Amino acid sequence: MKKFLFYILKVFLTGLVLAYAIAEFSFWSLRRGNFYKPSFVENSIKEKEVDYIILGASTALTGIDTKLLDSLTGLKGYNLAIDDTGLPNNYLMLQHFLNTDHQTKKVILVPTLSSLKETSGTLGDNDYRFLMYNKRGYTHNYYDELENGDRFPVLSSTKYLPFLGISYYNVELFFPSLVSALKPKKHNRFDEVGDYTYPSRKFKSSKEFETKKIDFKNDYFQRIVATCQSNSIELLVYFPPIYNTEIYWESSTLEILNLTNALKETKYFYDEIHVNTLGKTGATKKIAEKIN
């Protein structure tokens, strides 16, 4: 019986050590590569200070042509937006950017309308993309705060048990880590400045025109504002075109560029909230006018 228990213990410990080794290799490989935006920030942005960065979700990722904006303004910037995220992730990206010894003169924040309606933060679908930096204080604190008892704290526990995150997000982390090991310069659906574009297609919609009022009570939005102020960063809040929609806001302190109703024809849209290549160009030119 003792031999059997000793054998079970040996198998368990061997498996545990192997799981730790695989997890640590995966995180090392992801940190070394450029597959996801957080490691792209650390490994590919060589400038210590840039003119601007773009923060947001898919509407920011696909809605601004960074190269065109640079050519029209003479500035140098990067698109650090991550799809399927919200204001909490935008705040985490800003923290990550500043904590990797980078600085920016301006932040172009593209918040989703749904996130502004929330008063507190929730985890986004792609927040796992910061897990390779799980041992850094700002990342662990972010996970720990948002995993507030609603679910098993996989993300925050990964700091102590790294195989938890790798096993839970195996398709999203383990296999990309293999790609990063073989091709460190490989990106996940973004180019060398962080952009991605939705292709043009025939967009049809029966949506009638509507107006929406926005407030800025989201806690993480206020944290972004405070971080920009404490680091002498200009903040531009940008609302991109939305088909047949116009928003209104009440703010005397924020610099806001509202283009929600700037493009009216379906030829500019991929779907109701995302512009296509044509719409992206038109919107970027208007942003350049605002900056200039």
- What mean pLDDT comes out for the span 78-107? 97
Answer whether residue 161 shows pLDDT above 90.
yes
Answer whether residue 171 shows pLDDT above 70.
yes
Question: pLDDT band at residue 16, thresholds of 50, 70 and 90?
Answer: confident
Percent of the chain with pLDDT over 70: 97
pLDDT tens digit sequence for 108-157: 999 988 887 777 778 889 999 999 999 999 999 999 999 976 678 999 99
- What mean pLDDT comes out for the span 282-287? 96
Query: In this predicted structure, what is the pLDDT of residue 194?
Result: 97
This prediction has a pTM of: 0.94
- What mean pLDDT comes out for the span 231-255? 90
More confident residue, 115 or 236: 236
Answer whether residue 201 shows pLDDT above 80.
no
- Range(s) of the domain holding residue 86: 2-291
Query: In this predicted structure, what is the pLDDT of residue 9?
Result: 73
Residue 117 sits in a domain of what CATH number?
A: 3.40.50
Answer whether residue 100 shows pLDDT above 90.
yes
- What mean pLDDT comes out for the span 257-273? 93
Q: Residue 229: count other Cβ atoms within 10 Å of its Cβ.
A: 11
- Mean pLDDT (the chain) is 92
Query: Lowest mean pLDDT: which of 42-56, 79-93, 248-262, 268-282?
Result: 248-262
**CA 287 to CA 285: how far, in whole Å?**
5
Cβ distance 248 to 237 under 8 Å?
no
CA atoms within 13 A on the CB side of 254: 21
> Alpha carbon 253 to chain centroid distance?
25
Cβ distance 130 to 158 under 8 Å?
no
CA atoms within 13 A on the CB side of 28: 6
- DSSP string over 25-91: HHHHHHHHS-SSHHHHHHHH---SEEEEEEEESHHHHTT--HHHHHHHHS--EEE---SS--HHHHH
Number of structural domains (the chain) is 1
CA distance to 43, 97, 108, 137, 194, per residue, from 47 (Å): 11, 12, 18, 24, 15
Shortest CA distance to 225 belongs to which of 109, 142, 145, 137?
A: 109
- DSSP string over 201-213: ------PPPEEEE
The pairing of strands 210-214 and 234-239 is: unpaired
**CA 130 to CA 88: how far, in whole Å?**
12
Query: In this predicted structure, what is the pLDDT of residue 7?
Result: 67
3-state secondary structure of 187: coil
Query: Lowest mean pLDDT: which of 89-93, 201-205, 249-253, 280-284?
Result: 249-253
Helices (H), the chain: 2-32, 37-44, 58-61, 66-73, 87-99, 113-117, 137-146, 154-157, 162-168, 175-182, 219-230, 277-291
Question: pLDDT band at residue 241, thresholds of 50, 70 and 90?
Answer: very high
Question: pLDDT band at residue 104, thresholds of 50, 70 and 90?
Answer: very high
**CA 70 to CA 288: how far, in whole Å?**
8
